[in-house]
Amino acid sequence: MVKPLILVTMGTNDYPFNRLYNYIKQDPLFKSDSCDWFIQYGACELADKPQSGQVHQLIPRADMEALIKRAALVISHCGIGSLNLVLQYRKQVIFVPRVQKHGEFSDDHQLQIASKITNRRMKVVMPGDKFPSLDLEQIKAEAPQTEPVDITNYDLARIINYKLTA
Amino acid sequence: MGRKSSILVIASAGGHLTQAICATSLVKQDLVLVCNKNMLLNDRFKRIHTIRDTQHSAFVHALNFVRGIWILIRERPSAMFSTGGPICLPFALLAKLTRTRFVYLDTLSRVTELSNSGKMIEKYGLADTFLSQWEPVATKYRGVEYHGQAFDLGDHGHQ
């Protein structure tokens, strides 16, 4: 039987995000063989690897999209690229916004967009919040979502096209 | 026979690029991308030029400015479009100097204020059209337009 995949993405930027890495490696599932992990760690200082799965510093967007399709749970920084993909594939997500005071970004703009995430299947771990325990049964029960929903705003695209070409 | 004109898109890898792809989804002309990373397999772009990434280095911005001159000579775009990040600044200046139409869409992640790049572009009037993706931000600035967000942040059938 194929094990459920937990995908962790820290985006393409050059700031480390060790806090998120510390959260996930403290979860019992990190050292369990009951699920696969894929960790895109970016500028993180990666020390421990999960019991089962892979770690990569950076992967092309097409590969990330393929992993998102397969993932039963996505754990992500609060970047717009990641947000776009998980919305397209209607995934169960835990977002952890990067914050400036921990040297995770040059400012706190990820907190701004995090405050706008109201999706019921997306948890946001704000600074000071406890990272939730991962529930294997809930992860296993996740129905596969492999077909994307088109979430492009064509009204804006029409205006941009007009502004560029009229 | 005249050369087919293209639109030059300047966007950093990641979220900025995602928004640029959404926002230009109805553009019929060829799109040429300027990006800080070349890890994209996307048939939306006819060509990709990779430049150096920086936030604050004047030296790297100057290098990218020179590279930008070469890109503009090669591509001769009819217009330029950017969703940021800071790599767009030399291109915004080049658009102004060469009188190439420049449309700038400030990033979706800036909910309460413009991005730093957006503030500079707005301050020096480098864009012919400047859009914010949040109405309260747009209303703070004269000449900044709001026409919605590059993609829908709603639930999309989530249970």
Percent of chain B residues topping a pLDDT of 90: 82
Which chain A residues are Cβ-neighbours of B26 within 8 angstroms?
A: 154, 157-158, 160-161
Chain B residues in contact with A61 by the CB 8 A cut-off are: 17, 39-42
What six digits make up the tokens of A50?
A: 């999960």
CA distances from B70 to A146, B64, B66, B73, B76 (A): 42, 10, 7, 5, 10
Q: Interface pTM (ipTM) of the complex?
A: 0.93
Query: What average pLDDT does chain A have?
Result: 92
* Secondary structure, 3-state, A40-89: ECCCCCCCCCCCCEEEECCCCHHHHHHHHHHEEEEEEECCHHHHHHHHHC
**Mutation for testing the A interface, residue in B5, B9, B22, B57 having most A CBs under 10 Å:** B22
CB B29 within 8 A of CB B5: yes
In the block, tokens 């792809």 appear at B21
pLDDT at A48: 86
Task: Name every residue whose Cβ is closer than 8 Å to that of residue A46 and which is 6 or more positions away in sequence.
Answer: A21, A39, A55
A interface test, pick of B4, B5, B18, B32 with most A CB neighbours within 10 Å: B18
**Domain span holding position A34:** 5-165
CA distance A89 to B16: 19
Task: Give the tens place of pLDDT for each residue, B83-135.
Answer: 999 999 999 999 999 999 999 999 999 999 999 999 999 999 999 999 999 99
Min Cα–Cα distance to chain B from A133, Å:
21
Q: How far is B150 from chain A (nearest CA, A)?
A: 5
Q: Is A30 left (phi over 0), alpha (psi -120 to 50) or beta?
A: alpha
- Residues of A with Cβ-Cβ distance to B150 under 8 angstroms: 152-153, 156
Task: Return d(Cα B136, Cα B145) in angstroms, integer.
Answer: 11
Verify cis geometry, omega within 30 degrees of 0, for the bond prior to B85.
yes
- Looking at residue B7, its pLDDT comes to 98
Count of domains in chain A?
1
Is the Cβ of A165 closer than 8 Å to some Cβ of chain B?
A: yes
Concatenate the DSSP letters of all residues of A120-157 into one string.
TTEEE--TTPPPPPP-HHHHHTPPP--SPP--B-HHHH
User: pLDDT by residue (tens digit) across B50-83?
Assistant: 999 888 889 999 999 999 999 999 999 999 999 9
Are A13 and B14 a contacting pair at CB < 8 A?
A: yes
Q: pLDDT category, B158, cuts 50, 70, 90?
A: low
Domains of chain B plus CATH, in order, are: 6-146 (3.40.50.2000)
Q: What is the mean pLDDT of residues B14-29?
A: 95
Query: Looking at residue A15, which CATH number applies to its domain?
Result: 3.40.50.2000
Closest chain B residue to the Cα of A58, Cα to Cα: B39
Yes or no, beta carbons of A90 and B79 under 8 Å apart: no
Contact at 8 Å (CB) between B55 and B64? no
Hey, are the CB atoms on A113 and B108 less than 8 Å from each other? yes
Compute the mean pLDDT over every residue in chain B, rounded to the nearest whole number: 92
Q: What angle do CA B68, B44, B114 make, to 5 degrees?
A: 60
Quote the pLDDT of residue B3. 60
Nearest to A81 by CA among A108, A104, A59: A59
Smallest Cβ distance to B111: which of A84, A87, A113?
A113
The pLDDT value recorded for residue B40 is 63
Instruction: State which residues of chain A have pLDDT below 50.
Output: none
pLDDT tens digits along A57-70: 988 888 999 999 99
Through-space distance between the first and last CA atoms of chain B, rounded to whole angstroms: 55
